[in-house]
Amino acid sequence: MASFASFPALLPTFVSEWGLSATEAGWISGIYYAGYTIAVPVLTSLTDRVDPRRIYLGSALLTGLAALGYAFLAEGFWSAMAWRALTGVGLAGTYMPGLKALSDRIEGAAQSRAISFYTASFGIGASASFLLAGELATRFGWRWAFGLSALGSLVAMAIVAVVLKPRAPSREEGLHETHFLDFRPVFKNLRAMGFVLAYTTHNFELFGFRSWIVAFLVFSQALHPGAESLLSATAIAAIFNLFGWPASILGNEAAVRLGRQRTITIVMTASAAFACVFGFTAALPYLAVVALGALYAVTVTGDSAAITAGAVAAARPDQRGATMAVHSTLGFSGAFAGPVVFGWVLDLAGGPASQNAWGVAFASMGGVLILGPIALAICSRAARRHGDAQP
C-alpha cells in the first residue's frame, strides 16, 4: 500500500510539471484501478485452486517493481499511465487474495469481524501512503517518493512469507463443476450481486474522493492565504483516510446489530448528501472545510466493510473466490470510473480554478453513489422471492 496514493497525493505537482488537464490527471488516477480491474478476475478466482499466499507474494513483487519503474522512467501522461496500471495489477494480486487467505482460515461471526478489520486496514495503508508521498516529495522530490515506496512491498512480502503458512485449497474447495473463470453461478446469486453493485457505486465515490481530495484542499488553501501553514494537504488527506479505519469497523458492527441492508442504506444516503454539498464549501473558512471533509470521509468509508462482509457471507463456500473476483472486478470498475468522471466533470464545469466546478464534480459522485442502495434493495427483494437466505 505504500505506493497506493503516490500519484493522487502529488497530483498538483504533476498537473503543474507536466501541464496535465483535470481529465488527464483523472485518467492517470483511474488507470491504476483499471489495471486492478483487468487482473483481479483471474488472480482472485485462482485462489479457489491455488494457495493465495503464492499469488500475494508474486503480486507484491510486481507492485514494488512498478513503483521503481515510475520513479525512474515516468516522463509524462503516457508513461505515467503505463506504470500506474502495472501498480494496479499488483494490488489486484494482494488485496482480494489476501482477504481470501484470511477468510479461508476463519468462519462464523469471527469471519465478519476479521473481514471488517482487514478492509479497514486498507484505509490505514492509504493514509500512510498519502503522508509518506507528501513528506518524501517535499524533502527529496517526487521521484524519490515513488522509489522509496517500493520498500513497502518488500516489507509486505517478508511478513507474509514468515507469518502466513502455506495452505493448499481443501478437497471441498477443489471440486469445481465449472471453469474457474465461469462466473455465471455468481451472477445468479442475487443476494451477493446486491452487495456487488452497492460496492461498485461505493468505490466510484471512495476512489474519486481519494484521488481528488488533495487537489481540492490545495485549491481551498489558495483561497485562504496562510492556511497551508497549518498542515499540508497531504497530511490532512492522510488523516481523512485514517478515519476510514474506525468508521468501516463500526459500520460493520452496526450492520451486525441493526441489519446489514438498513445500515448500508443509511450510510450511503448520508454520504451522497455530503458529496452534493462538500465541493461547494471551498471558500468557507479553511478549518470549516477541513471539519466538513473529516465528516464526509467518515461516511465515505463507513459502509465499506459492511458491504464486503455481506458479499462474502452471501457467497457459496465453493464459489467464495469467484464471488470475490466478481465483487472486486465490478467494484473496481467503479474505482476506475470515479476519478476519470470527476476530472472530466471538473473540466466540463469550468476547470480546477472554478469553485462551482469543484462543487459539481463532487455532486456527480453523490448522484452515482445513491444508485447503490437502490440496487441493493432491488436485488434483496428478488433474492427473497427466490428463497435466498439473509446473510
Q: Could you tell me the residue range of the domain that residue 284 belongs to? A: 6-168+181-385
Q: What are phi and psi of 74, to 5 degrees?
A: -70, 125
For residues 167, 172, 178 and 179, what is the CA-based torsion angle, rounded to 10 degrees?
A: 10
Domain containing residue 354: CATH number:
1.20.1250.20
**Quick check: is 353 in a domain?**
yes
Q: What is the C-alpha to C-alpha distance for residues 124 and 305, in angstroms, rounded to an integer?
A: 14
What pTM did the predictor assign? Answer: 0.87
**Quick check: is 1 in a domain?**
no
Q: What is the pLDDT of residue 85?
A: 97
Q: What is the C-alpha to C-alpha distance for residues 310 and 318, in angstroms, rounded to an integer?
A: 16
User: Which grid cell sits at 338?
Assistant: 470515479
**Quick check: is 176 in a domain?**
no
**Quick check: is 45 in a domain?**
yes
**Quick check: is 173 in a domain?**
no
**Quick check: is 71 in a domain?**
yes
pLDDT band at 325 (very low <50, low <70, confident <90, very high): confident
Has residue 119 got a pLDDT over 60?
Answer: yes
For range 295-318, the mean pLDDT: 91
Lowest mean per-residue pLDDT among 22-36, 115-129, 196-210, 229-243: 115-129
**Quick check: is 202 in a domain?**
yes
Q: What is the pLDDT of residue 197?
A: 97
Residues 320/48, Cβ–Cβ less than 8 Å: yes
How many domains are there within the chain? 1
**Quick check: is 100 in a domain?**
yes
For range 198-202, the mean pLDDT: 97
Q: What is the pLDDT of residue 186?
A: 87
